[in-house]
Structure formats: structure tokens, C-alpha cells
């Protein structure tokens, strides 16, 4: 395992670029994904485990608080970005995480040029904003089926439906 990964699992962009260089030098393909990961649940875990199985290392970019609020709405995120990234980075299947600004990860993808970019199967029937960035350098997009009935939105709805005396 890279000394960079072992010492600091939530990376800055410059650390992520250094990790990328180490992986390239070692001939290990980089798998990259991004998301909000607000209220971590088993659906996230299964998705990330499937992503990790595709390559030599998994780097996960976590949307910052401003982009999460812009994309998910008022009241989100529930968990701050620094905590979400730390939780994601602590998962065995994740080699490292970083926090990014903006509503898409296109700039990160262009900088890191992962061999494989992964998103959920829900993008099968809707536009994937990062697809052009991946295509520009010849990377591959892989869509992974999501675990039915497991989502942060569904979890929030269940919590809201709890009786007040719970």
C-alpha cells in the first residue's frame, strides 16, 4: 500500500495527484467515483465494494457542503463534508477520499484521468455530466446497479416518519 494512502486517507488534490502518479508507476488502474454520501448506508457500501473490485485502487470524491445543498436542497447535507469524507475513507474498500467543490467532478476527472469512472445504474437513463471528461482521455465509464430500496432520501423519509416520542 502506498505510504500516502497509509498516512492520510482524506487527501488534498495535490496528494490525490501524487497518489495517481504512484498508481500509474505501479501499473495499478485507478477507479474513481464521486457523490454526496450523506447518511452512509449499506447501499453505499455495496456500490463502493463493487467499484473497488474493478481496479487497483478506489478514490472517492465527496461533494462539499455547498454543492450538496445546491443539488439536494435545503437541509442537506445532514452530515458535514469533512465527516462524510472521513467515513468514506475509513471503509476497507476505499483507498482514499477527497472533498471537491462544484456540482460535477469533471475537473477532478480531467486532472486525475482514472482508467475507470464509476457511477450508479440510475445514470443509465439520465445524462452523466462527467461522461465527456472521461471520453476526452479515453477512460471507461462503468455503471453499477444500485441496491433497491436503499438511498439516503429513503432513509431520511423513514426518519421523518418516526413518531415524535421515538
- Give the global pTM: 0.89
The pLDDT value recorded for residue 7 is: 46
Residue 141 and residue 134 in contact, taking contact as beta carbons nearer than 8 Å: yes
Interior/surface letters 62-86, b for 16+ CB within 10 angstroms, e for the rest: bbbbebbeeebeeebbbbebeebbb
Other CB atoms within a 10 A radius of the CB of residue 138 amount to 8
Residue 150 has pLDDT above 80, yes or no: no
- Looking at residues 58-84, what average pLDDT do you find? 95
Give the CATH architecture of domain 3-160. 3-Layer(aba) Sandwich (3.40)
Residue 48 has pLDDT above 80, yes or no: yes
Three-state SS at 36: coil
- Looking at residues 80-90, what average pLDDT do you find? 96
Phi, psi (5° rounding) for residue 31? Answer: -105, 135
Indicate the average pLDDT of the chain. 91
Residue 1 has pLDDT above 70, yes or no: no
For 88, left (φ over 0), alpha (ψ -120 to 50), or beta? alpha
Amino acid at each position: 500500500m502506498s505510504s500516502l494512502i497509509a498516512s492520510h486517507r482524506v487527501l488534498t488534490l495535490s496528494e490525490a495527484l501524487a497518489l495517481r502518479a504512484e498508481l500509474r508507476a505501479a501499473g495499478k488502474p485507478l477507479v474513481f467515483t464521486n457523490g454526496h454520501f450523506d447518511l452512509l448506508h449499506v447501499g453505499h457500501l455495496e456500490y463502493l465494494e463493487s467499484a473497488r473490485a474493478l481496479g487497483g485502487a478506489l478514490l472517492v470524491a465527496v461533494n462539499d457542503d455547498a454543492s450538496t445543498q445546491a443539488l439536494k436542497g435545503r437541509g442537506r447535507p445532514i452530515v458535514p463534508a469533512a465527516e462524510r469524507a472521513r467515513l468514506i475513507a475509513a471503509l476497507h474498500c476505499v483507498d482514499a477520499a477527497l472533498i471537491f467543490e462544484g456540482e460535477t467532478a469533471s475537473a477532478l476527472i480531467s486532472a486525475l484521468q482514472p482508467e475507470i469512472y464509476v457511477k450508479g445504474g440510475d445514470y443509465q437513463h439520465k445524462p452523466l455530466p462527467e461522461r465527456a471528461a472521461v471520453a476526452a482521455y479515453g477512460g471507461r465509464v462503468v455503471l453499477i446497479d444500485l441496491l433497491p430500496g436503499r438511498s439516503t432520501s429513503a432513509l431520511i423519509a423513514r426518519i421523518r416518519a418516526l413518531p415524535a416520542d421515538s
